[in-house]
A and B are shown apart, each in its own frame.
Chain A
Amino acid sequence: CSRLHNRPTISPTLLLSNMYHRPDMITPGVDAQGQQIDPQKIQEHFEDFYEDIFEELSKFGEIESLNVCDNLADHMIGNVYVQFREEDQAAAAVKALQGRFYSGRPIIVDFSPVTDFREATCR
């Protein structure tokens, strides 16, 4: 959300800010060139992305959960939350991901205080 949240110095959970970009993010169902996109293509695009992330992050440790926000509102748009089993696995991932690119965009990675996604609401 737009509020400032505390960023823990260590956590098993990471936040990759604004990492997922929907192909139809400007206008729902329509690509940047104004062409209609098959909803199935959007789904495939999402699944490819999810798989990429999962494969890459699995190198650093066991993933407990992986959440991708594919909403179109500006709130949390494209944010990816990944929870590792251990904090040091998350720390290794942060170290390894910083300064790298994904699909032409820099990866913005930080620890996140979230440890239970069912309870993850802004208070």
Chain B
Amino acid sequence: PSKSKRVSGFDMAPPGAPPLPVAADAGQLPGIPQPLTGIL
């Protein structure tokens, strides 16, 4: 069976792009709930 799918995330250095938001690291605050459209 072929097992060549994706590359491992190991040794993937931080990209030039900004990292994850700070709130994500703290692992809290699920943010604002999604508005339910079409329901009153």
Contacts and interface: CB of A to CB of B under 8 A. Distances in A.
Interface in A48-99: 48-49, 52, 55-56, 72-74, 77-78
Contact of A27 (B13, B26, B31): B31
Interface majority SS (helix, strand, loop, mixed), chain B: loop
Chain A interface size range: 20 to 34
A100 B11 contact: yes
Given A18-B25, A21-B24, A25-B24, A30 B34 contact: yes
Interface string B9-28: 11111110001110111111
Given A74-B26, A78-B27, A26 B21 contact: yes
Nearest to A19: B9
Interface string A1-36: 000000000000000001001000111101010000
A56 B12 contact: no
Contacts, number: 55
A72 B12 CA distance: 24
Chain B interface size range: 20 to 34
Contact of A102 (B9, B23, B25, B27): B9
Given A32-B21, A100-B11, 4 more contacts: A72-B30, A102-B9, A104-B15, A105-B19
Interface of A: 18, 21, 25-28, 30, 32, 48-49, 52, 55-56, 72-74, 77-78, 100-105
29 contacts: A18-B25, A18-B27, A21-B24, A25-B24, A26-B21, A26-B30, A27-B34, A28-B30, A32-B20, A32-B21, A49-B9, A52-B10, A56-B10, A72-B27, A72-B30, A73-B27, A74-B27, A77-B27, A100-B10, A100-B11, A101-B10, A101-B11, A101-B14, A102-B10, A102-B11, A102-B12, A103-B12, A104-B19, A105-B14
